[in-house]
Amino acid sequence: MEIVVSSSFEPLLWDESPVLVMCGGRGSGKSEFAGRKLFVRGEKEAGHRFLVVRKIRRTCSDSVVFLIKRILDENGVSYDYNKTDHTIVAHGPAGPYEFVFVGLDDPEKIKSFTGMTSAWIEEATELTRDDFLKLDLCLREPGPSYRQIMLTFNPQEVEARWLKDAFFGAAPYPGARVHNSTIDDNPLKRLDPKTWAAYAGKLDALRDQDEALWKISRLGLWAARSGQIFSWDVADLPKDAKFDDVFLGGDFGYSVDPSGLVRIHRKADEFWLEELLYAKNLTNQDLSREMELLGVQRREPSYWDSAEPKSIEELRRLGWNAAPAQKGQDSVRAGIDFIKSKKVHIVTGSHNLKKEHDSYCWRKDRGGQPMSEPVAFDDHLMSAVRYGIFTRCARPQSKIWTMRAGV
């Protein structure tokens, strides 16, 4: 068994606090560490049933399941993944141990779980204080080893002030240990300095765009952002609706930025945005395969960043109806203004899109005044939405000339 952690996180491997709070900036490695700690415990301590939680179960499957499977694969550990039950049973030297992936969008299901030995709450800012207390009650049964709830999150005051009050206030939660981290604590700084430097550079650049976001993301400090651009609600996709149009918006990425894909449903001037894909390290061939697995039809119109003509052409040669998005001078602001004039909903379960929407804010100048462009950070699905809607729906109307007799 070989586990790589930084010197900042290494003491936490052996920490037995009832609650381990890992708060930090983007790319600090806190989620990676949480997954690795569960793995180490499962390999060394018998009989574990780890509860792994996010607010929406689908996002737990999309992100944390992938992380756990990768850690097991890297260490050559055999396991059985039950996609229906959302469980992984790994086979270690101390015996089998289990990961149970759940979402709080099905709270009744949480009550049915017994025998859980520890838990990890990823993106804890999604939860309420009541959510946390209910999970805490699930871990009161005695067991062969210590019980611990781990929480990982970024310190955003607006999203979850209760976390700051509970663990950083004058009367912190009993038995809690708090650990702060930044991207400087990520082992990639040593293992993959090129990728680390690319992402650290994006975080450093935030200082001139949004100081609050820079404090949260680069320094791992509590801050409250302002200047949110949109205020869309979350709604179910209407059943049996006869939409006027259905099309896709996409954004390319790779190691630092994820690729994103959104299906856009339109009925008159009302839109429903359904997140389909949000993943890193996808080549265009990988992206094509993922679209097939998602059930995307090759004839569906899709609009992509026109700055990537080679990638768009490759998708076309793979049989997809891909086209460049309409871009040009002030097209970002024009696209935002156009979308602001429409009624827009985020389809239930589109977690990454909702997260980007909530943090999509106007850039600020050095005096803190809003500018006419958004902060260029974690906006991949939001860009995909703009590419699709603005290109597909904001076409100039044809002028109609009326000829009068004698003119």
Distance CA 265, CA 326 (A): 19
pLDDT at 56 over 80: no
Q: Could you tell me what percent of the chain has a pLDDT over 70?
A: 93
Mean pLDDT, range 109-127, rounded to an integer: 82
Distance CA 378, CA 360 (A): 8
Q: For position 399, what pLDDT does the model report?
A: 42
203-216 pLDDT, tens per residue?
A: 999 998 889 999 99
97-110 pLDDT, tens per residue?
A: 999 998 877 666 66
Q: Which stretch of 24-33, 54-63, 75-84, 305-314 has the lowest confidence by average pLDDT?
A: 54-63
Mean pLDDT, range 363-369, rounded to an integer: 81
372-390 pLDDT, tens per residue?
A: 889 988 899 999 999 999 9
336-361 pLDDT, tens per residue?
A: 999 999 999 999 989 899 989 988 99
Task: Report all structural domains of the chain as residue ranges with CATH numbers, in order of start.
Answer: 10-205 (3.40.50.300), 233-393 (3.30.420.280)
pLDDT at 396 over 60: no
Residue with more model confidence, 34 or 371: 34
DSSP state letter for 272: E
Q: Where are the alpha helices (DSSP H) in 13-160?
A: 30-44, 57-59, 66-74, 107-111, 129-137
**Which long-range contacts does 292-300 make (Cβ < 8 Å, 24+ apart)?**
294/261, 296/248, 296/261, 296/263, 300/246, 300/247, 300/248, 300/263
Coil/strand/helix, residue 197: helix
